[in-house]
Amino acid sequence: MGRIPPFKPERAPRMIPEHFLNRELQSLEFNRRVLAQAEDRATPLLERLRFLCIVSSNLDEFFEIRLAGVKEQVKLGAGAPDPDGLLPREVFSRVAAVAHFLVDRQYQLLNGEILPALAKAGIRFLRRAEWTAAQQEWVKEFFFREMMPVLTPIGLDPSHPFPRVFNKSLNFAVELDGRDAFGRDSRVAIVQAPRVLPRVIRLPRGVAGGEADFVFLTSILHQHVGELFSGMNVTGCHQFRLTRNSDLFVEEEEVKDLKKALQGELPQRHFGDAVRLEVDDTMTESMVAFLLEQFGLAPVDLYRVNGPVNLVRLMSVPDQVERADLKFKPFLPGLPKSLAKSKDIFETLRKEDVLLHRPFQSFAPVIDFIREAARDPQVVAIKQTVYRTGTDSVIMQTLIDAARAGKEVTVVVELMARFDEEANINWAAKLEEVGAHVVYGVVGHKTHAKMVLVVRREEGKLARYVHLGTGNYHPRTARLYTDFDLLTADENVCMDVNEVFQQLTGLGKASKLRRVWQAPFTLHGKVLEAIEGETRHAKAGRPARITAKMNALLEPLVIEALYRASQAGVKVDLIVRGVCALRPGVPRLSENIRVRSIVGRFLEHTRIFHFANGGEERVFLSSADWMDRNFFRRIELCFPVTDAKLARRVVREGLTPYLEDNTQAWEMRPDGTYERRKRGRGKKRAAQAELLAALAGS
């Protein structure tokens, strides 16, 4: 098995800017589609509020990472970094205009529709003017008991410079009149709200006037801010929130200990360069100018809002209210028949592969697979990759128990999983304490592949079992994201996975894998070969079609290959949840390509690649999107579904209903905008609802 040479395309990329859409603008287009879920009156009311919060959360990360990068390029005077040919300054200008529109629309929707509708349903967010005497007394007591002891007002003067403001923290700019006990006449103070304080407080039953009454932390502080400045006159109190560049910078190739380097860098995430300033719409122009100057921001970076500056904090409200009529109908994830009847998962896998489609089917069999491996005295080794798993993970605790029981446990922990770095570092430390082998992947390449390898002694020989998935080993996202899991004892696949673990934990040349396509070695080349194979089949008059589902499509060589396939007559259906740089439906370029996005109750996360292949169909599942980073800067796996019955299931469940969806589907136009699919007179088709009905329990 010799070394695999890097893939070299047959021709240089054409890189015609008109062929590509801008990534940042496409990201905001996705958030338009999410916002449409909050606008849709057919969506249950508390779920509309939740979608509104999701947009805010998405925009936070967009500003922290994507727009922060664009601003950095503008500052450095960089040229056009992407195939679309737009200069960073042009990108920033266009993105800012769309972002301002989205934020304005959010608050229009919140104040004009969602909050009034919630109030009619008995869920109220009380303004100060609406408080009864009893509520005012309760709020006052809450302020002195819970807030006053942890608040630290900072008056601004030569000995008290402007404080360091945490990324996305809630702060108040207080305007004052008068002199304090020391004779100081500072006119401005900053009050930072500690993160331990809830931003939305539910009034207790004895005080609440309705079924569920809430007050905002900001309202409580506005009411009693004078208590922090005894003897002075408060002339204004305004909330503000600063978003900072949160992309960690670690020169991976220069550090000797990635974990230590990350631990040193994580605290600085809270104090990166300022990117966006959010203020309430009552803030005076003089205070706005003062804050913009303090943070080195321009007026275009200012977002005035009519309401809380952090809508993400409203995400907790649906969980605090017991109103099933205002939420999505609950469901019990189903189980495949082969597992429902099985008492021994290893015995089942020796007979057949198992495919799970979550969240419609349960993630529990994956947990059980690892748990049984940890308990089974015949199991000698467990190896697993960890990208995102959360702070409270049954799987990670099970691996710790397995190591304590004396099994050989190897865990490849990705320390650079954005915003999960701290949780992963903590799990790594706990695993090392019990003797597990913990490695941190490959410098310069994130380990994004989702795989578990179990080695078991059977009849004097060692047998291997594998789990491969399109999604993370995360208990929460397993209930919210759509993903496929494959459990198999296929010897070729098991040998491939074992080889990948050898690469990650040891040293040596990359060997040729039998069934699995692997980034950064073969995945890009194999995808291009498969697309070009369909082009050749079409030209020869054989069956040719490409159907692919993913989160993002950006890699220019793949896009150009899809254009060539379209020109050869290949029908290409792409289901791309988020960012897509390809332009569909352009005459003589992509008229045979259709791009659609499904946005619904669950976050579409599955990666499926289906090739007609001249009549000998091939179906693959993958951890990778068709993006540069996935092909060249990550460890990714793309694995075939070789069982014909299961391959048909993947197509029947993962592709066909999404192509026929006329309720939650958005069709992409050639200019990169989207139009929601209208049902017309035909039967209502909603992929996620149909899959729930077909696969979930009662």
- 3-state class of 239 per DSSP? strand
Tell me the three state secondary structure of residue 555: coil
Closest CA to 573 of 553, 600, 555, 554: 553
Contact 544, 612 (CB under 8 A): yes
Dist CA 627 CA 621 (whole Å) = 16
How far apart, in whole angstroms, are the C-alpha atoms of residue 531 and residue 609? 10
In contact, 211 and 317? CB cutoff 8 Å: no
- Verify whether residue 537 is a known catalytic residue: no
- The β-bridge relationship of strands 481-488 and 603-604 is parallel
Do residues 400 and 436 make contact, with C-beta atoms less than 8 angstroms apart? yes
- DSSP helix/strand/coil, 636: strand
Q: Which two tokens stand for residue 213?
A: 């009454």
Burial class (CB in 10 A: 0-12, 13-18, 19+), 208: buried
Any idea of the CA torsion for 321, 324, 328, 334, to the nearest 10 degrees? 110
Q: What is the pairing mode between strands 170-177 and 200-202?
A: unpaired
Distance CA 421, CA 434 (A): 21
- Find all residues with CB under 8 Å of 73, minimum gap 6, and list them: 81, 88
Instruction: Report the relative pairing of strands 608-611 and 545-550 from DSSP bridges.
Output: antiparallel
Element (H, E) at 468: strand 461-469
Task: Decide: 285 and 16 in contact? Cβ < 8 Å.
Answer: no
Angle 364-375/394-404 helices, nearest 10 degrees?
10
Strands 450-458 vs 461-469: parallel, antiparallel or unpaired: antiparallel
Q: Which amino acid is at 532?
A: E
Helix residue ranges per DSSP H, 232-306: 258-265, 285-295
> Do 265 and 248 form a contact (C-beta atoms < 8 A)?
yes
Give 42's DSSP letter.
Answer: T
What's the sign of the alpha-carbon dihedral 600, 602, 603, 606?
negative
In whole angstroms, what is the distance from residue 11 CA to residue 654 CA?
Answer: 33
Q: Which tokens sit at 235?
A: 């002339």
Task: Give the DSSP H or E segment for 481.
Answer: strand 481-488
Strand pairing of 608-611 and 618-622? antiparallel
CA distance 135 to 137: 5
Task: Label residue 547 exposed, middle or buried (CB < 10 Å: 0-12, 13-18, 19+).
Answer: buried
Please state, as a whole number, how many other Cβ atoms lie within 10 Å of the Cβ of residue 220: 19
**Strand partners of residue 461:** 458
Distance (Å, whole) CA 500 – CA 416:
19
Tokens matching residue 349:
């896998």
3-state secondary structure 58-71: HHHHHHHHHHHHHH
Active-site hit among 448, 467, 524, 610: 448
Q: What's the CA gap between 87 and 74, in Å, rounded?
A: 8
Residues 6+ apart with CB under 8 A from 39: 48, 109, 113
Helix axes 421-433, 394-404, angle to 10 degrees: 20
Whether the Cβ atoms of residue 290 and residue 253 lie closer than 8 Å to each other: no
Residues annotated as catalytic are: 448
